Structure 1
Amino acid sequence: MPIQRKAYLLIALLLSFSLIQQAHAGHIRKRKIKKLFKHSQILGNHFTGFALYDLDNQKMIYELSDDKYYTPASNTKLFTFYTCLKMLGDSIPALKYVVHNDSLIFWGTGDPSFLHSDLKGINGYTFLKNSHKKLFFATGNYTGQFYGSGWAWDDYNDYYQTEINALPLLDNTAILYADKNDSLRIRPAYLKSYLKCDTTYRPSNFRVKRDFLSNTLIYPFMPLPKNYRQEIPWKTSTALTLALLQDTLKLPVTEVHLPLPADAKTIYNTNTDTVYKHMLQPSDNFIAEQLLLVCSTTRFKTLNADSVISYSKTHFLNDLPDAPQWVDGSGLSRYNLFTPRSIVFLLCRILDEVKNEELLHSLMPAGGVTGTIKKAYKTDNGQPFVWAKTGSLSNNYNQSGYLVTKKGKRLAFSFMNNNFAGPVAQVRDEMVRIITFIHDNN
């Protein structure tokens, strides 16, 4: 064979090899991901759904039972988040109000930031405090229940199941703690009269328990542990809202029954991005549920989460691959059912709506850095590579969000695990192993 022809063949082979290498570098290898799931000793014992989507090439990379419905738990908050992005502006409405002569009549909007312990929405409070008017709280505009559909009633004493109402104050939650003298204290202090020692109440360790139907709080006759702290949702009522408003404002507030007029004005509280961050990173159920009511106040005269969900499904989510069964804002209900491919579709919509990937990542839990996956992932030289919303109920654990690989590929994924009998840590660690492999090897 002539030397010149050999040279041409060698060059052709090298070029062909280079193109193959470039092709491998530019595409996620589906076969290797399939093997991870096939040979997993953890994921084969329960229902697993997975969808991995290439954001740059706009195509699905790998699917495993992604058209099946799963209980999403707090992945539901992604639907609430998107609905808020479509319906709210840059600030949360705190109050609706009208002024008649020497009277100021106001309506709640469901604003979760109103005197919130972290969000500290004080514009509504300051407006009422400095109005120099007689204050009238108009009730009856919230038409839902204090719990969402399908919530577990026996979780009423736990911090994550706060009641829903039109005008939440101070997180709708009592904070019990040991002061520097190891004495039991409660915030807000107004609730102190509800706190009782009960010698017949004998839990295995010190724990305060609220009566299901009232705000009576009992504690056992036993030593108070150092650094004790417990958060207990209180039983909401118009009477308690009025009492807490008056106690905080140091002004009289009277209840009235009036429909919201069309010419009512609005006072705004906290920046919406700040509120979204506090919902998504620690997975705050209270904020998620109340935000649906805030959305409601922008469109309807009454506060009703079902109306907002129906509106969102009709106007914003009518082209999802699979119609969502969506019943609450937080994901506490097991009636919620979504498919992984619909969640991936939603994640693409969220990214399009925010239009700023860096901002979106800053709102989400970041692996190894913030939120509910802070301890789940390791960073890549100090930088997170996964930003995902977790969702957990007993026997269920999910993650859905965004992933950037070592080679810079931008991906969206939904990884859902339902009905496992083993420890959640085992399932979570296996999910982390697979997501980390995808990052490291692509």
Structure 2
Amino acid sequence: IGICVYEPATGKYLYNHNASKYFIPASNVKLFTLYAGLKYLGDSLPGLKIIEEANHIIIAATGDPTLLHPYFTSQPIFNFLSKISKQVIATKTLFATTAYGKGWSWDDYNESFMNEKSALPVYGNNIIFGGTSNKLTFYPNAAEKYITFSFDSTTGNSGYLNEVQRDYFRNRYTFKFNGSKKTERVIPFITSDSLAYLLLEDTLHKKIYYPNVAVNPDDSALAKTLFSRPVDSLYIPMMYESDNFFAEQTLLMLSNKLWGAMNEATIIDSILFKDLKDIPQKPKWVDGSGLSRYNLFTPQAFVYLLGKMKNEFGLERMKTILPTGGQGTLKNYYLIDSGYIFAKTGTLSNTCSISGYLITKKNKLLIFSILNNNYISTATPVKRAVEKFLHNLRQNH
């Protein structure tokens, strides 16, 4: 375990136990991704790049993960495209990375928390299945045209949908209908630019021409960026629900905005070299979400970052983006301390972490990071012990 607790007002550390040692931080990595987004993405998400000509409009993807995502009811980019009477031509975006991050657990490919990264995400790069064998439901409805599926005959087909298993290398899904109650299953699909545009044009009821040719919209004087929504509308669910997909796409949007290509390593290297050059221990930072077990960070590094974020973006904004007790991933924790702790959690098997801000009974602000690795129990007793430690810290300091 590594513990770092710092009081900004005095410049003193209250705890520094293994605080300069490296740990796998899990989703605490999203704090670094959040910093990058707050620093460089601006106040709105880039939804689409366009070049509007006399007879047609060229569109280029920006990596915005909110297009047709079920979490977001407002869809300004879709509404814009639906009103265009000109021919729509999609240009290929320079996607200079891979669908999965380095060090991700390959056997989680069927899980909704490990959907693929892509240049043009649609519907969150997931399909929502439900219903029964007699009436199977899809969201988006268009997905039925572009996937194959079969029923698992070993379980019978008289109940509700219970399990969905996708083939690793293709969009072929096998369903089990042995459930006793109505439920939904959210499963990723294998992405491609062509599939994304097919799903989009099916929803638009409008043809999108995709010649698979790269055109850089920024080379044209007519190029402009359409924005989809305020950035905090993405950052809040990213931090509250620890949404891996939103975090990964944040780095891709950033690298595309700054360098015209989607590659998380480029923006990570730039942030570490330029903005975080004074960090106490340089981390090994490899993805946006923290899914990778290659990530290595120290508690002091998180405390440094949280202090920097407070100074650059303001504590009040950080308090709106990070959950408190009873919210998000802290839903069942820190209920007594709700409104006085604002933190990001992180959990992988044998790994859990929490870093954030704590306001004590004496109204003192503390910045803390507690990283746990290599325990063999479930995460719950570890989290409860940390909860007790932070509660006592708030009561007594």
Report the TM-score when normalising by structure 2.
Answer: 0.94
- Give the deviation of 1:183 after TM superposition: 4.2
Mapped to 2, the partners of 1:424 and 1:191 lie a distance apart of 37
- Give the deviation of 1:182 after TM superposition: 8.9
Mapped to 2, the partners of 1:295 and 1:431 lie a distance apart of 34
Amino acid at match of 1:391: G
Match of 2:67 in 1: 114
Contact 1:53/1:411 (CA < 8 Å) preserved in 2?
yes
Mapped to 2, the partners of 1:201 and 1:259 lie a distance apart of 50
CA-atom RMSD, angstroms?
1.8
Mapped to 2, the partners of 1:412 and 1:316 lie a distance apart of 20
Contact 1:293/1:303 (CA < 8 Å) preserved in 2?
yes
- Which residue of the other structure, out of 310, 315, 325, is the alignment partner of 1:367? 325
Contact 2:49/2:217 (CA < 8 Å) preserved in 1?
no
Match of 1:321 in 2: 280
Match of 1:417 in 2: 372
- Give the deviation of 1:387 after TM superposition: 1.0
Amino acid at match of 2:333: A
Change (3 A) 1:246 1:116: same
SS of the aligned residue for 2:217 comes to coil
- Which residue of the other structure, out of 286, 293, 313, is the alignment partner of 1:334? 293
Mapped to 2, the partners of 1:172 and 1:285 lie a distance apart of 12
Match of 2:246 in 1: 287
Output one character per residue of 1:295-336: Cα deviation in whole Å (capped at 9) or x when no partner: 112211111111111111111111100011000000000011
Output one character per residue of 1:246-284: Cα deviation in whole Å (capped at 9) or x when no partner: 111110011131231323210000100111001000000
Report the TM-score when normalising by structure 1.
Answer: 0.84
Match of 1:392 in 2: 347
Amino acid at match of 1:85: L
Match of 2:162 in 1: 206
Contact 1:112/1:171 (CA < 8 Å) preserved in 2?
yes
- Which residue of the other structure, out of 140, 144, 147, is the alignment partner of 1:188? 140
Match of 1:173 in 2: 126
SS of the aligned residue for 1:427 comes to helix
Contact 1:388/1:402 (CA < 8 Å) preserved in 2?
yes
SS of the aligned residue for 2:113 comes to coil
Amino acid at match of 2:249: Q
Contact 1:183/1:224 (CA < 8 Å) preserved in 2?
no
Output one character per residue of 1:380-406: Cα deviation in whole Å (capped at 9) or x when no partner: 4xx422111001110000000010111
- Which residue of the other structure, out of 360, 365, 377, is the alignment partner of 2:334? 377
Amino acid at match of 2:136: L
Query: Where do 1:10-409 residues align within 5 Å?
Result: 48-120=1-73, 122-178=75-131, 183-193=135-145, 194-199=148-153, 206-220=162-176, 222-256=177-211, 257-262=213-218, 263=220, 264-355=223-314, 357-368=315-326, 370-380=327-337, 383-409=338-364
Structure 2: state its 5+ residue gaps: none
Mapped to 2, the partners of 1:351 and 1:115 lie a distance apart of 33
Mapped to 2, the partners of 1:239 and 1:97 lie a distance apart of 18
Q: Does 1:433 align with 2:388?
A: yes
Amino acid at match of 2:329: T
Mapped to 1, the partners of 2:59 and 2:155 lie a distance apart of 42
For this pair of structures, how many residues does the alignment match? 387
Amino acid at match of 1:412: I
Mapped to 1, the partners of 2:261 and 2:357 lie a distance apart of 36
Contact 2:119/2:193 (CA < 8 Å) preserved in 1?
no
Mean alpha-carbon deviation: is it higher for 371-380 or for 409-418? 371-380
- Give the deviation of 1:342 after TM superposition: 0.6
Amino acid at match of 1:321: P
Structure 1: state its 5+ residue gaps: 1-47
Identity among equivalent pairs (%): 37
Mapped to 2, the partners of 1:169 and 1:120 lie a distance apart of 14
SS of the aligned residue for 2:267 comes to helix
Mapped to 1, the partners of 2:143 and 2:179 lie a distance apart of 19
Mapped to 2, the partners of 1:358 and 1:116 lie a distance apart of 28
- Give the deviation of 1:200 after TM superposition: 5.1
- Give the deviation of 1:198 after TM superposition: 2.7
Amino acid at match of 1:216: R
Mapped to 1, the partners of 2:215 and 2:274 lie a distance apart of 27
SS of the aligned residue for 1:160 comes to helix
Runs of 4+ aligned structure 1 residues displaced above 6 Å come to none
Mean alpha-carbon deviation: is it higher for 110-119 or for 254-263? 254-263
SS of the aligned residue for 1:277 comes to helix
Contact 1:110/1:165 (CA < 8 Å) preserved in 2?
yes
Mapped to 2, the partners of 1:124 and 1:240 lie a distance apart of 18
User: Whose radius of gyration is greater, 1 or 2?
Assistant: 1
Mapped to 2, the partners of 1:227 and 1:197 lie a distance apart of 17
